[in-house]
Structure 1
């Protein structure tokens, strides 16, 4: 695989900046597009000819939150191959179970530790790369927390 195309949607600039710093230190080649809300993310998905391999989706954003984005993305067959990793600093069993039912591939609990976040991102992206190499469309749901 060439570069892993990644979209990240998170309304918190500092969180996105920290996330990008950790992502850039992971030994996987990526192309990243960033969005600060779900509406812009959805607009880009519908206008892009080349879809991302993976979307990191913050659950709590204004305008359109991650739960709504996930539902919208999974309602369109053309987006079925996109691996979706929902993430939040809050872990609630009920919400994580709902994400699984709604079609997310992973839940990633945000970490304030750079080293931990880097390790979690590496695990997440390795799962995406492995899945793409095997041309699998469905993967088991994974929860990653530090």
Structure 2
């Protein structure tokens, strides 16, 4: 089975390490590429021949945050099939509604529990190929 090509944009290295470890521990094969900010992610998207199937976007990063990055990605037709999962440790209904309106496919609330994070990631990635048009919130 082909690996799911995933990009993660997150500037918090502790969160990133926790996140990547949980991804490795779920029964979905993934190939993960990490970016510290949205600018580096966008540069890679424009230079890559092979686009990721999924992008996890931390909402609060320096230089270019997840909100700006989402808007930029959705402004280009060549990126329309990328499944975007915005995530943060903070759940604010107003922001989640904005993410939905701006074209995110999911919002995922970060968990500090490894077991819970694994469950959220498995649930989240299991929906990538099935419910593309439904906005999903996982907390």
TM-score, L = length of structure 2: 0.98
Q: Deviations over 1:37-96 (max 9, x none)?
A: 111000000000000000000000000000000000000000000000000000000000
Q: Which runs of at least 4 in structure 1 moved beyond 2 Å after TM superposition?
A: none
Q: Secondary structure at the match of 1:128?
A: coil
Q: Distance in 2 between matches of 1:130 and 1:16?
A: 26
Note the C-alpha offset of 1:107.
Answer: 0.1
Q: Secondary structure at the match of 2:123?
A: helix
Note the C-alpha offset of 1:129.
Answer: 3.8
Q: Distance in 2 between matches of 1:17 and 1:9?
A: 12
Q: Distance in 1 between matches of 2:130 and 2:48?
A: 24
1:72-111 pair list within 5 angstroms: 72-111=72-111
Alignment correspondent of 1:47: 47
Alignment correspondent of 1:115: 115
1:59-70 pair list within 5 angstroms: 59-70=59-70
Two-structure CA RMSD over aligned residues (Å): 0.9
Note the C-alpha offset of 1:128.
Answer: 1.1
Q: Secondary structure at the match of 1:63?
A: coil
In the alignment, structure 1 residue 140 sits paired with structure 2 residue 134: yes
Aligned residues: 139
TM-score, L = length of structure 1: 0.93
Alignment correspondent of 1:10: 10
Note the C-alpha offset of 1:110.
Answer: 0.2
Q: Secondary structure at the match of 1:67?
A: helix
